[in-house]
C-alpha cells in the first residue's frame, strides 16, 4: 500500500491527504487503496498464468465484502467464496455471476442451500457427511442435466505454525472430513451414488497467516498419497487460502511469486509420479488481497497519563471495528496522521472507547509525547477481518469505508446512522 508522509508532514494514501479525507467522511474511517486491491488480484492471476495451468482465484468474501468490493472482484475476473446466505445475497445484489460462486461452511442450513440453488449456485464445498443427502434432496427440483458440482473439504493433517484460532487443517477440527478415519472416502462414495451431485475434487484450507509454502507442499504430498492409495480421480484441486500478510515488522509476508513457484513445481512432480493430469487449480485468498490495502483512521479523545505507570490514548472507535487485537492479541502499527519532526515519541497504549478493559488497539506504541485531543491516528493493515467483523457493541455505529486510487476518491460504505441502529427494534 502507498502510505507516506508528504512534504508538509501529512500522511497520504495513494497521494490523498488523510486529514482532508477525514474532513469529508469523519472518523472512524476505513480507507482502502483501490489500486493496491487490484494489484493483489492481478498478482495471483499472473503467477498461475505464468505456469500455464488451468486455474481460478476465488476470493474469500469474509475478509471484506461489500457491493463495490464485489464489483471490483468481478471486473478482475475473480471468483467468490461465500459461507452464509448473507454473503451470497450481497454478492448477488452486486451482480456477481452465480456460476462463479462457491458455497462453503461447516453448517449450511437447508434454507441457505435452497436459496443458493434457486439463485443458480451450482458449486458447494461439502464439509460433513450429512450435508450430502441434504443438498441432494434439495436439488430434487433441478433439471436432469443441471447437476451440482461438489468438492469435499478434507483435513490433510498438516501442522501449521499459526494461532490456534486461525488454524484449521488439523484432524481435531470442526471443519472438514478426515482422511485417516475413512470419512472423506465415505463422502466420495455417497456423492457418487447421489442423484444430483457431481464429485469434482478436493478442497482443503490449512489455516491463516501462513508465511511460506511448506504447509502447502506437505498437503499436496499427503493428499495425493491418499488419492493414489484410494484410487480416486479429481478434476479440481482447491488449496484454500491463508497466505500471510505483514501487520508489523515481525511478520513474514507469504511470497506469492516464489511461494507458488515452489507449490506448483512440487505439484507437477507429484502428478507426474502418480501419472495424473493437471487438475483445475483453485485458491481462496482473502486476507492477502485486502489486509494491507487499508488503514483505519481515528480521532484522539481522552488522554490519561498515569505517572510512572502508563499513558492511555483513547480513540473514537475500538473493539467494535477492531476486534482482532482483543480477540487474539494481534499486533498492529499505529502512526500519527500528522508528523511533527520536533516532538519525541513515548510508548503509549492506544485504547478504544468501549466498556471492556480488553478493548485495546495497541500496547506500547511509540507516539508523539505532545499528542492531544483532536489529533488523528492511523492503524495500518486493517483491510481484512475488520469491517467484516465489526459489531454494534455499545451501540457503536459501523464506520464509513472509502476507496482511494490514482483516479480519485469514492465512498463504498456509508457510516451507519443512528436510526439504523434501532431500525429493527419494535417501538
Ligand X SMILES: *Cc1c(COP(=O)(O)O)cnc(C)c1O
From 138-146, 278-286, 299-307, 348-356, give the range in contact with ligand X by CB under 6 A: 278-286
From 177-185, 223-231, 286-294, 393-401, give the range in contact with ligand X by CB under 6 A: 286-294
Q: Does 295 bind ligand X (CB under 6 A)?
A: no
Q: Does 332 bind ligand X (CB under 6 A)?
A: no
From 18-26, 177-185, 281-289, 315-323, give the range in contact with ligand X by CB under 6 A: 281-289
What does the block give as the cell for 334?
Answer: 499505529
Q: Does 286 bind ligand X (CB under 6 A)?
A: yes
Catalytic residue check, 97: no
Q: Does 208 bind ligand X (CB under 6 A)?
A: yes
Q: Does 76 bind ligand X (CB under 6 A)?
A: no
Q: Of residues 159, 182, 355, 391, which has the active-site annotation?
A: 355
Burial tier of 357 (Cβ tally within 10 Å: 0-12, 13-18, 19+): exposed
Tell me whether residue 243 or residue 298 sits nearer to ligand X (CB atom).
243
249 marked as part of a ligand binding site: no
Are 66 and 56 spatial neighbours (Cβ–Cβ below 8 Å)? Answer: no
Angular region, 326: left φ>0, alpha ψ -120 to 50, beta rest: alpha
From 18-26, 55-63, 178-186, 399-407, give the range in contact with ligand X by CB under 6 A: 55-63
Q: Does 131 bind ligand X (CB under 6 A)?
A: no
Could you give the string, one character per residue 95-114, with x where binding to ligand X holds by CB under 6 A and - elsewhere? Answer: ---------x----------
| Alpha carbon distance 164, 260 (integer Å) | 25
284 marked as part of a ligand binding site: yes
**Which residue in the block uniquely carries the three cell numbers 437447508?**
110
Counting every residue written for the chain, the total comes to 427
Task: Sort strands 408-413 and 400-405 into parallel, antiparallel or unpaired.
Answer: antiparallel
Tell me whether residue 80 or residue 295 sits nearer to ligand X (CB atom).
80
Tell me whether residue 19 or residue 84 sits nearer to ligand X (CB atom).
84
Tell me whether residue 206 or residue 350 sits nearer to ligand X (CB atom).
206
329 marked as part of a ligand binding site: no
Are 69 and 295 spatial neighbours (Cβ–Cβ below 8 Å)? Answer: no
| Alpha carbon distance 383, 291 (integer Å) | 4
286 marked as part of a ligand binding site: yes
Q: Does 82 bind ligand X (CB under 6 A)?
A: no
What does the block give as the cell for 165?
Answer: 484460532
Give the strand order in the sheet containing 3-5. 3-5, 11-13, 16-17
| E strand or H helix that includes residue 59 | strand 55-60
β-strand partners of 185: none
Q: Looking only at residues 305 through 324 of this chain, which bind ligand X when binding is defined by CB under 6 A?
A: none
> What is the DSSP-derived secondary structure letter of residue 62?
G
- Positions marked catalytic: 355
Contact residues for ligand X, defined by CB under 6 A: 60, 62-63, 81, 104, 205, 208, 240-243, 284-288, 384
Amino acid at each position: 500500500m502507498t502510505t507516506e508522509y508528504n512534504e508538509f508532514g501529512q500522511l497520504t494514501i495513494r497521494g490523498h491527504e488523510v486529514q482532508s479525507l477525514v474532513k469529508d467522511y469523519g472518523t472512524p474511517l476505513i480507507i482502502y487503496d483501490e489500486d493496491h486491491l487490484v494489484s493483489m488480484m492481478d498478482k495471483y492471476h499472473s503467477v498461475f498464468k505464468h505456469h500455464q495451468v488451468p486455474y481460478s482465484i476465488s476470493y474469500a468474501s469474509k475478509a471484506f465484502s461489500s457491493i463495490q468490493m464485489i464489483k471490483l472482484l468481478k471486473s478482475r475476473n475473480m471468483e467468490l467464496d461465500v459461507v452464509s446466505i448473507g454473503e451470497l445475497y450481497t454478492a448477488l445484489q452486486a451482480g456477481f455471476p452465480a456460476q462463479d460462486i462457491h458455497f462453503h461452511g461447516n453448517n449450511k442450513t437447508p434454507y441457505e442451500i435452497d436459496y443458493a440453488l434457486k439463485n443458480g449456485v451450482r458449486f458447494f464445498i461439502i464439509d460433513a457427511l450429512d450435508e450430502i443427502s441434504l443438498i441432494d434432496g434439495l436439488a430434487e427440483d433441478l433439471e436432469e442435466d443441471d447437476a451440482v458440482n461438489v468438492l469435499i473439504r478434507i483435513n490433510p493433517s498438516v501442522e501449521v505454525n499459526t494461532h490456534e484460532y486461525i488454524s484449521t487443517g488439523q484432524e481435531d477440527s470442526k471443519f472438514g472430513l478426515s482422511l485417516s478415519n475413512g470419512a472423506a472416502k465415505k463422502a466420495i462414495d455417497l456423492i457418487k451414488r447421489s442423484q444430483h451431485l457431481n464429485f469434482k475434487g478436493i478442497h482443503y484450507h490449512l489455516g491463516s497467516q501462513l508465511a511460506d509454502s511448506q504447509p502447502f507442499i506437505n498437503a499436496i504430498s499427503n493428499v495425493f498419497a491418499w488419492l493414489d492409495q484410494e484410487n480416486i480421480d479429481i478434476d479440481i484441486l482447491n488449496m484454500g487460502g491463508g497466505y500471510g500478510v505483514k501487520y508489523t515488522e515481525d511478520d513474514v509476508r507469504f511470497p506469492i511469486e516464489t511461494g507458488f513457484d515452489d507449490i506448483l513445481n512440487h505439484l507437477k512432480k507429484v502428478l507426474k509420479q502418480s501419472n495424473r493430469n493437471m487438475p483445475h487449480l483453485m485458491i481462496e485468498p482473502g486476507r492477502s488481497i485486502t489486509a494491507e490495502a487499508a488503514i483505519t483512521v481515528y480521532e484522539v479523545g481522552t488522554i490519561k497519563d498515569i505517572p510512572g505507570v502508563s499513558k492511555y490514548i483513547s480513540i473514537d472507535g475500538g473493539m467494535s471495528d477492531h476486534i482482532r487485537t482483543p480477540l487474539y492479541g494481534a499486533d498492529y502499527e499505529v502512526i500519527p496522521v500528522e508528523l511533527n519532526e520536533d516532538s519525541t515519541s513515548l510508548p503509549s497504549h492506544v485504547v478504544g472507547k468501549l466498556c471492556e478493559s480488553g478493548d485495546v488497539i495497541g500496547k506500547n506504541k511509540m507516539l508523539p509525547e505532545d499528542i492531544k485531543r483532536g489529533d488523528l491516528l492511523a492503524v495500518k493493515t486493517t483491510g481484512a477481518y475488520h469491517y467484516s467483523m465489526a459489531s454494534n457493541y455499545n451501540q457503536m455505529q459501523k464506520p464509513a469505508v472509502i476507496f482511494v486510487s490514482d483516479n480519485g476518491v469514492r465512498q463504498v460504505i456509508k457510516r451507519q446512522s443512528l436510526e439504523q441502529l434501532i431500525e429493527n427494534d419494535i417501538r
